[in-house]
Amino acid sequence: KNEVEQSPQNLTAQEGEFITINCSYSVGISALHWLQQHPGGGIVSLFMLSSGKKKHGRLIATINIQEKHSSLHITASHPRDSAVYICAVAEGTYKYIFGTGTRLKVLA
Amino acid sequence: KAGVTQTPRYLIKTRGQQVTLSCSPISGHRSVSWYQQTPGQGLQFLFEYFSETQRNKGNFPGRFSGRQFSNSRSEMNVSTLELGDSALYLCASSLALAGGNYNEQFFGPGTRLTVL
């Protein structure tokens, strides 16, 4: 079993839909990071969380430390949101453990 | 402030050769981490450097090595390349403030290595 599990692995949505991507982890963490990777490879940081909830535009990220679970929500999805979303947990201070990613495709 | 830069962006090598990749962190960032991304294994941690010292290492063979210079720039080297080393290699930098608390990492665009 992977230390960081993401679901779903693939997701296709219609423009305007509300999207949720889930991340569960089994290790102790100091922080959790949601990353976005577009075709071509560059990784963009969306959120870093150690507790509670954060919101940036149409994106919302939550984390429940007791349940070892985090969710990334996209409201009013748009085709430009199409990307791979990766959950990464910071184990200790030096390194990430990554989820396998969720490939999102938003259709116009 | 300029972001993390990596050079070269693309590289093609043949089996048995060696390769050196470079990463320049964000100005003021003292920690540099390296990651390998492949379709089969996803993103995996290679190693992390701080103040020219390797602090942590992932589960990769000794063919993978790195170093960090006094200006925080970092290089990673892969010797005796194998086909399976074909991957996107990403580096990330962070402030690594004193006290050991976790600091957010900022990723570079990556170097795509193809081994033929």
Q: What is the dihedral of CA A68, A6, A34, B99, to 10 degrees?
A: 40
Q: Closest Cα to residue A6, out of A53, A26, A40, A54?
A: A26
CB contact under 8 A, A94 and B110: no
Chain A nearest-CA residue for B96: A93
Distance of CA A23 to the CA centre of its chain: 7
Interface A–B counts its CB contacts (< 8 A) at: 59
Contacts with A43 from chain B: Cβ below 8 Å = 90, 107, 110
CB contact under 8 A, B105 and A33: yes
**Whole-angstrom distance, CA of residue B105 vs CA of residue B96:** 9
Q: What is the pLDDT along chain A (108 residues), one digit of tens a residue?
A: 689 999 999 999 999 999 999 999 998 888 899 999 988 778 888 998 989 999 999 999 999 999 999 999 999 999 999 999 999 998 776 678 899 999 999 999
The one-letter amino acid code at B83 reads L
* Mutation site, B38, B107, B112, interface A, largest A CB count within 10 A: B107
Judge whether B8 and B111 are in contact, CB under 8 Å.
yes
Q: Closest Cα to residue B81, out of B35, B114, B42?
A: B114
How far does the CA of residue A47 sit from the closest CA of chain B (Å)?
A: 9
DSSP A68: T
Q: Closest Cα to residue A105, out of A81, A85, A76?
A: A81
